[in-house]
Amino acid sequence: MFSEPVQIIYVKEWEKIYNENKIPFVIFKSSDWWGSAIDGIPTEVSAYKIAEFNIKIINLQKIGSYDIWIANNFSVSTPRKRCIRKGI
């Protein structure tokens, strides 16, 4: 189990980064990986403060056996640099 003080430090840092729109995705776990509950305790329980933070700000999507968390403030319309190829 992750200690609660360590989780609180991570969550405070991630809240700051989230508020700056710098967390678009989180790959939280793979349910097929043997290490996701090696001690018989699911990650969501052993890292409950982190899981609570994720649930509060992020939408859960499943891709295969992975839990992909997509930030509520993520936008696919984020401006991107255009690639200009000369000679075409």
Query: Does residue 20 sit within a domain?
Result: yes
Domain that holds residue 57: 4-71
Low-confidence ranges of the chain (pLDDT < 50): 83-84, 87-88
Instruction: Report whether 32 contacts 73 (CB < 8 A).
Output: no
pLDDT value of position 2:
65
Tokens for 42, please give them.
């699911």
Indicate whether 76 belongs to any domain. no
Q: Where are the beta strands (DSSP E) in 17-83?
A: 25-30, 58-63, 66-71
pLDDT at position 88 is 44
Q: What total number of domains does the chain contain?
A: 1
